[in-house]
Amino acid sequence: MFDTDPAVLDADATLSDVVAARAVAERAEVRILCDAARWADLHGALEHTDTGVSLPGTEQLVSLGGAGTPGVAEFAPAELGAVLGMSPGAAAVLVGDALDLRHRLPRLWARIQAGEVRAWVGRKTAQATRQQTVEMAATVDRRVARWAHSVSWGRLETMIDAAIIEADPESAAVAVEVAARSHGVWGGCAAAGDPVPPPQPGVVHP
C-alpha cells in the first residue's frame, strides 16, 4: 500500500489516497489500544506478591483506569511508552483508557474494535468517565455507544454529562453546587429523567 508517489496523483487519486491513509491510521490507533490492554494483562501480577510481602522500593500494582479495572505494574507503561515514542505518563493514560473501555464501556469498546467508532472518541469518553463509579460508566455506555460514530464530541460530551446525572442525580447536583461556589456563580442542575435531544432529526432518544 502507498507505493505510488503522491506527486504523480491527480485530484481524484489524491483524495482516494487520503481516504485510504486515514483508514489505515484509524485501524492502527485501534490496534494500539488493543495492544495497550494486552500489555496491561501481561503486567497484571508481580512476582513478589506471591509471598504476600511487598518490600519498600519494589514495583507495585497501580490503578491506571477507573473503578473496576485491574491493577497494572507501575513501571509497565514506561516500556510501552518507549516503543511508542511517548512519555511514561502518556503511556499510562493510554493503558488506562484501554482498560476503561474494555471493562467499563464494553458497548463502546465493541464498536471501536469493529471499526465503527474512532479510537480517539473512545479514549476521550474513557477519560471523561474515569472518576465515575462503575454504575455511572455503565449508564454512559448504554446512552452514548450507539451515537458515538455520528455526533460531534461536544454533543457526545453533553450526552455523557446527562447520563451521569441520570445515574446519580444527587451527586451530580452536589458537584454542580461545589463548582458554582468555587467560581462565585449559582446555577441549577438538570434533573434525572430530563430528555437528551436526539442526535438526528426525527429520532427519539430513549
Q: What is the 3-state secondary structure (H, E, C) of 178-197?
A: HHHHHCCCCCCCCCCCCCCC
What is the Cα–Cα distance from 65 to 96, expressed in whole angstroms? 4
Return the amino acid letter for 141: D
Q: What is the pTM of this model?
A: 0.78
Tell me, what DSSP letter sits at residue 151? S
pLDDT tens digits for 102-125? Answer: 999 999 999 999 999 999 999 999
Q: Which domain holds residue 156?
A: 131-206
Domain count, the chain: 2
139 and 187 fall within a common domain: yes
Residue 166 forms part of a structural domain? yes
Residue 113 forms part of a structural domain? no
92 and 148 fall within a common domain: no
Cell of 103: 471493562
14 and 85 fall within a common domain: yes
Instruction: Give the SS3 label for residue 6.
Output: helix
85 and 19 fall within a common domain: yes
Collect all residues with Cβ–Cβ distance below 8 Å to 144 and sequence separation of at least 6.
Answer: 108, 125, 156, 159, 160, 163
Residue 38 exposed, middle or buried by CB count within 10 Å (0-12, 13-18, 19+): exposed
Residue 111 forms part of a structural domain? no
100 and 137 fall within a common domain: no
The neighbouring-strand residues paired with 61 are: 73
Residue 205 forms part of a structural domain? yes
Give the rounded distance of the alpha carbon of 85 from its chain centre: 20
| Grid cell 449559582 in the structure block, residue | 186
Residue 17 exposed, middle or buried by CB count within 10 Å (0-12, 13-18, 19+): middle
Q: How confident is the model at residue 96 (pLDDT cuts 50, 70, 90)?
A: very high
Give residue 177's pLDDT.
Answer: 75
Give residue 172's pLDDT.
Answer: 66
Residue 112 forms part of a structural domain? no
pLDDT of residue 198 exceeding 60, the answer is no
pLDDT tens digits for 147-175? Answer: 999 999 999 999 999 999 988 887 767 76
82 and 135 fall within a common domain: no
Residue 125 forms part of a structural domain? no
Instruction: Note whether 63 and 78 are within 8 A (CB).
Output: no
Give residue 206's pLDDT.
Answer: 45
135 and 96 fall within a common domain: no
Residue 83 forms part of a structural domain? yes
Return the amino acid letter for 169: P
36 and 86 fall within a common domain: yes
Q: What are phi and psi of 118, to 5 degrees?
A: -70, 145
What is the Cα–Cα distance from 167 to 46, expressed in whole angstroms? 36
pLDDT of residue 203 exceeding 50, the answer is no
